[in-house]
Copies of this chain bind each other. A is one copy, B any other.
Amino acid sequence: MPVGDPHTVRAFDEELARLNEHIARMGGLAETQLADALQSILDGDEEKAKRVIEDDTQVDDVHMQVEEEAIRMLALRQPVADDLRTIIQSLKAASTLERIADHAASTAKRVHVLHEGPAVPPVKSAVRMGWLVLDMLKQAVDALLRRDIERAVEVWNRDSEVDDFYSSLFRELLTYMMEDTRNITPCTHLLFVAKNLERIGDQATNLAEMTYYMVTGKQLEGERPKSDTSSFTIVEPKHYEG
């Protein structure tokens, strides 16, 4: 950015602060959407689920605003170095938060089917997994807004916790499906709920990586700790049939 002119500098800082506020708003909305989606599953509250689905457009609107402002800043201020990196990472963070909110809305879309069918115990496990993911998301948003790299690394290290939960829930769901064919429909929808939550955990980890890069200009080193083994899970139905 043009240095030397204090007016321009101040205007740019104000614009950066506004960009950060928009992202804070998106983070808050994404958290609320996820919390409400989980609560609506737990309570079988179709009204609340409907609101989550409808409110997804709010997140989309703020996302569009972030994009427009970032592009305007790039065109008018022509930032370089740290400022350029901050704007590009903000664009990426906004698009990640938008996808997180999408996954929350997809989760809420399953409430109707889950409420229609027989109650299955893994609903509670899925919601517990959701709380874990929500906690991780809050921490990731917090780290992003405060540019707190220590907190970002903490989030990054928690992704495998979510993966472990997901792998065990995956197995639990298959087991319930084999026990009683009436469980197949609700458990299938819960599989997708679990997958959405696993994706949110993954994206919270992405946010942590963006935060780290935004602050340090370096990539978080090492392999991301992954332990999702669900793609390889086989559950045999035999002992239910004997």
Contact = CB atoms under 8 A, between A and B. Distances in A.
Interface in A186-242: 188-189, 191-192, 195, 231-237, 240-241
A191 B189 contact: no
A48 interface: no
Contact of A88 (B71, B109, B113, B195): B71
Interface string A107-124: 001101100110000000
Copies of this subunit: 2
Contacts of A92: 95
A67 to B, nearest CB: 8
A74 interface: yes
A85 B67 CA distance: 11
A80 B88 contact: no
A153 interface: no
Interface string A82-111: 001100100110010000000000100110
Given A181-B178, A195-B192, A232 B71 contact: no
Contact of A84 (B74, B178, B184): B74
Contacts of A95: 92, 95
A8 interface: no
Contact of A232 (B67, B109, B174, B232): B109
B113 A85 contact: no
Contact of A233 (B75, B113, B174): B113
Sorted nearest first, the 7 A-B pairs with minimum C-beta distance are A181-B237, A109-B231, A78-B78, A75-B80, A178-B181, A177-B184, A185-B234
